[in-house]
Each structure stands twice: as structure tokens, then as C-alpha cells.
Amino acid sequence: MNAAEDMTIATEDRLRADLYNFLGLMLSGPPDQMLLDQCAHLTGDDSEMGQAIAGLARVAKASKPRSVESEFNALFIGLGRGELLPYASYYLTGFLNEKPLAALRSDMAARAMTRAPNVYEPEDNIASLMEMMAGMIVGRFGKPATLDDQKMFFNKHIAPWAGHFFSDLEAAKNSILYASLGAVGRAFMNIEREAFRMTAR
């Protein structure tokens, strides 16, 4: 993205994209010490979102990469499968690789989004969807997506299940750091859903 394109993205949208990217990064693999340190320095206001971010910072400060890696594995990998299956198809149909994945692939193709060559899991996992939203906002797949296009993608592929997933992440028995990340994700999904609801088509 060149500097001219960069200037067209409002500060608020850049912050939204940053938060989507952050959630995608934290959900794609266990954080290293540098990312934990960055989390530990986050601050929040008195809003639900601000309190969730402050909570994440407190837990990150006390976390070590090895314990967080064990937590991530128990939650998402496990022996055979983790405690949670973070895929739209599973949350919406009870099975992996179902219609929600086919619909997502169709919408990805229409937006010139492609799966990274080193990623083998289905595209409808929560980390990938967070990264896709961030990319649409800042124009990683061409021009920045219009608010209507963002709203359509969010309402179709994220809103029906992501809030439920983040609530499950908060409550999961293996969740410590990821429980606080779940609180951030749940609060952010609520903000996005409400903001899109208030935008006229």
C-alpha cells in the first residue's frame, strides 16, 4: 500500500483494523515473549472494551510463553482435537467443511483473497476471518472495502458465530490468557455489530 492510499483510511478504521489484526495474530498461534510484553503494556478506559483490554494486559504481564503455548494447544489442538473448534462451519452446522466454508470461499474469490501457501486449515477459522476483516478495511486486497461491503462480509461470515466463540473462549476450562482475549473479542464483536447496524444501507 502506498502512502497516498494510506492517507485515505480514517484513524478510527485503522484502529479497527489493528484490533482485528491483533485478534487474528493471537488466535493463529501462541504469542511469543515480545507479543506478551506488548499485551502487558495495553491500557483501557472504563468501557466494557477498555476493561477487557486492561484485564488482558494484567494476565499477559503474569504469563510466560511456555504456559501460554500449553494453553493454546489445549484449547485449539489437543490430542485429536482441542477444547474448542474455532470454525464458522462447526459453530453454524455442527460439522467442519460445510456450506459456510463454501460461501466464504466464494466471497474470498470475489475479493481476490487467497489462502497463504503455508496455511492448511480451513479458511473459516476465526483467526483467518479476523485477518480478512483487517485486510478489507485497509485495502490489503486492493482498494479499502466500502463500509457496505465490510458490513455484508461481517454480517454473513462473522456476526452469526464469532460472539458465541469468544464467549466460549472466555469460559473454556483451559483458558487463562485466552479467557481475557475472549472478553476483548466479545466486546469488539458487540461494538462492530452495533456500529454496522447503525449504518444505513
Packing angle, helices 33-40 and 48-61, rounded to 10: 130
Average pLDDT over residues 41-69: 97
Which band of pLDDT confidence, cut at 50, 70 and 90, is reported for residue 116?
A: confident
Residue 150 has pLDDT above 80, yes or no: yes
CATH of the domain at 167: 1.10.3480.10
Q: Which amino acid is at 180?
A: S
Residue 6 has pLDDT above 60, yes or no: no
The three cell numbers of residue 132 are 480478512
Give the span between the Cα atoms of 104 and 154, in whole angstroms: 11
**pLDDT score of 5:** 45
Average pLDDT over residues 39-52: 96
Domain that holds residue 36: 3-198
Main-chain phi, psi angles of 169, to 5 degrees: -65, -40
Give the span between the Cα atoms of 16 and 156, in whole angstroms: 18
Residue 68 has pLDDT above 90, yes or no: yes
Which band of pLDDT confidence, cut at 50, 70 and 90, is reported for residue 15?
A: very high
Number of domains, the chain? 1
Mean pLDDT of all residues in the chain? 94
Cα-to-chain-centroid distance, residue 21: 7
Main-chain phi, psi angles of 125, to 5 degrees: -80, 155
Give the span between the Cα atoms of 71 and 73, in whole angstroms: 5
Average pLDDT over residues 8-24: 95
- What are the pLDDT digits (tens) for 128-148? 999 999 999 999 998 999 999
CA distances to 22, 99, 132, 145, 192 from 137, in Å: 14, 25, 9, 6, 13
Residue 120 has pLDDT above 80, yes or no: yes
